[in-house]
Structure 1
Amino acid sequence: MKLQLFRNATLKLDYAGSVILIDPDFGRKHSRPSFTGRSPNPMVELPASTDEILEGVDFVLVSHLHADHFDKVAQDRVPKHLPLICQPGDEDTIRSFGFLDVTPLYDDLTIDGIHVKRREGNHGSGPVLEKMGKVMGFTIEGEGEPSIYWAGDTILYPPVRETIETAEPDIIITHSCGAKWDDVFIVMDAEQTSDVCEIAAPHTRVIAVHMEALDHATTSREELRAYANSRSVDKHRLIIPDDGEILHLTAPTS
């Protein structure tokens, strides 16, 4: 498979004969308000044009409707005929944007021979959790490809641990910028990402994204790497791609 990170959570997977776009955020640099007063968002430009990002896409996965995961520009630019998979409860809103083929992921489904299963996520804790609203992660499996657990906008909590331990994915994609709301973590930070590396099966690679794009983040790529090094997390175990970087990943051989 080929994985390309564009910015924040926006990924493109070339996987089992299909091209999957995840959580498209196409807004220009500084086109949305600040969360903290530090900077307008997003803080960086996309490393490719929207036409390049959309080229060849067969279907779209949208985990939730926060602007950094499905912004107004993406709502306008993503072709309306493309199959779009979302969390239950978001389908009517997405259809109101003009999308014609919207499927809520209640449990699992197969599309283009690829098995997608919904996984639980908590976008924070305590009172903040209600403010952030519902989110989802998902696992993806395709013949001849590494299995993927895309954890999404979640902290590390028991259902995420259970997914890691029971699904034993080949690849885990974490959102690791340590973003905070009301001084509460709403995604993983360096400590929780390193915990994921320790919880996961020995063959699993962890790919940390959702970094250096939003002004409520507290953890940079450099800080994540330094902390992981202090925990003796191998650099081949934890991959921290740059925006625009392409990773070629294969299923482990038995």
Structure 2
Amino acid sequence: MKIRLFRNAALKIEVAGRTLLVDPDLGAKHSRPSFTGRSPNPMVDLPASVDDILDGVELLIVSHLHADHFDTVAQAVIPKDLPLICQPGDEDKIRGFGFKDVTPLTSELTWNGIRLTRRDGSHGLGPVVEKMGQVIGFSLEAAGEPSLYWAGDTVLYPPVVETIARTRPDIIVTHSCGARWDGELIVMDDSQTVEVARSAPQAKVIAVHMEALDHATVDRATLRRTADAAGIGPERLLVPADGETVRVDKG
């Protein structure tokens, strides 16, 4: 399996001879407003052209409709006949953008030999969840490939812990920038990401969703220091740069 990080949560996953694109944010640097007054978003350029990002993509996965996961540029330029999987409740709005083949991931489905299973996520805890809205993660399995758990825009809370313990994935993708809204944590920070790695010694944890948005509180260097101090080395916790590809083979 190859996983290429573009920016924020946008990943191209090559698995079982197929190519998937997850949560595309394709807008130009500084094309959206700031969340905190620090900087317009996104704070960095894409590391590749939009054509390169879309090249070969056969399936689109959109976990939720926040702009940093499915922005107006992505909505406009991605071919409308591309099959798209989303969380339940978003399908009508996505069809309104012109996409013709939209399927909500209600529990699990199989697409060209790749099984996708919906996983619960919580975009924060307490009252902030109502402001953030519903999100999902997913597990991905295919014959001859490592299993993957993409946690998505969630904090570490019991359903995430239970998913990791029950499914024992080979790869876990975390959103680890420690973003905050109204002072509340809305995705994992460095401490929670390290706890994920501790809880899954069999897995490679790939931390993304970093250094792209101005409400983040954790950068790559901070996460690396926290992980090293906890004895979680770079062979266990991978922190790819924008544009970098990580390859993980089935053990």
Taking the TM superposition and a 5 Å limit, the aligned residue runs for 1:1-16 are 1-16=1-16
Shift of 1:12: 0.1
Match of 2:103 in 1: 103
When normalised by structure 1's length, the TM-score is 0.98
Q: Can you give the 5+ residue segments of structure 2 that lack an aligned partner in the other structure?
A: none
The residue type paired with residue 224 of structure 2 is R
Q: What is the root-mean-square deviation of aligned Cα atoms in Å?
A: 0.5
Give 1:152 deviation, angstroms: 0.2
Report what 2:230 is aligned to: 231
| Counterpart residue identity of residue 148, structure 2 | I
2:206 is matched by which residue type in structure 1? I
Match runs of 1:37-76 below 5 Å = 37-76=37-76
- Cα shift at 1:235: 1.5
How far apart in 2 are the matches of 1:5 and 1:235? 17
Distance, in Å, in 2 between the alignment partners of 1:199 and 1:247 is: 21
TM-superposed CA distance for 1:195, in Å, is: 0.3
Q: Distance in 1 between matches of 2:233 and 2:219?
A: 18
Q: Which residue in 2 is equivalent to 1:210?
A: 209
Question: How far off its partner does 1:99 sit?
Answer: 0.2
Q: Which 4+ runs in 1 deviate beyond 3 A?
A: none
1:137 aligned counterpart, secondary structure: strand
Aligned-residue identity in percent? 63
CA distance in 2, matches of 1:164, 1:203: 10
Report the counterpart of residue 239 of structure 2 in structure 1: 240
Equivalent AA in structure 1 for residue 35 of structure 2: F
Task: Give per-residue Cα distances to partners, 1:35-77, cap 9 Å, x unaligned.
Answer: 0000000000100011000000010000000000000000001
Report how many residues are paired.
Answer: 251
- Partner Cα separation in structure 1 for residue 159 and residue 126 of structure 2: 16
Which residue of 2 is the match for residue 222 of structure 1?
Answer: 221
User: How far apart, in 2, do the equivalents of 1:247 and 1:207 lie?
Assistant: 9
Q: Write the mapping of 1:9-48 to structure 2, written as runs, cut at 5 A.
A: 9-48=9-48
The amino acid that maps onto 2:209 is H
Tell me the distance in 2 between the aligned counterparts of 1:86 and 1:71: 14
Report SS of the residue matched to 1:37. Answer: coil
1:183 is aligned to 2:206: no
For 2:247 and 2:140, the matched residues in 1 are separated by: 16
Task: Give 1:125 shift.
Answer: 0.9
Describe the superposition over 1:22-45 as per-residue Cα deviations: whole angstroms up to 9, x where unpaired.
000001000000000000000001
Could you tell me the TM-score, scaled by structure 2's length? 0.99
Deviation at 1:234, TM superposition (A): 1.9
Match of 1:88 in 2: 88
Tell me the alpha carbon deviations over residues 79-114 of structure 1, each in whole angstroms, 9 at most, x when there is no partner: 100100000000000000000000000000000110
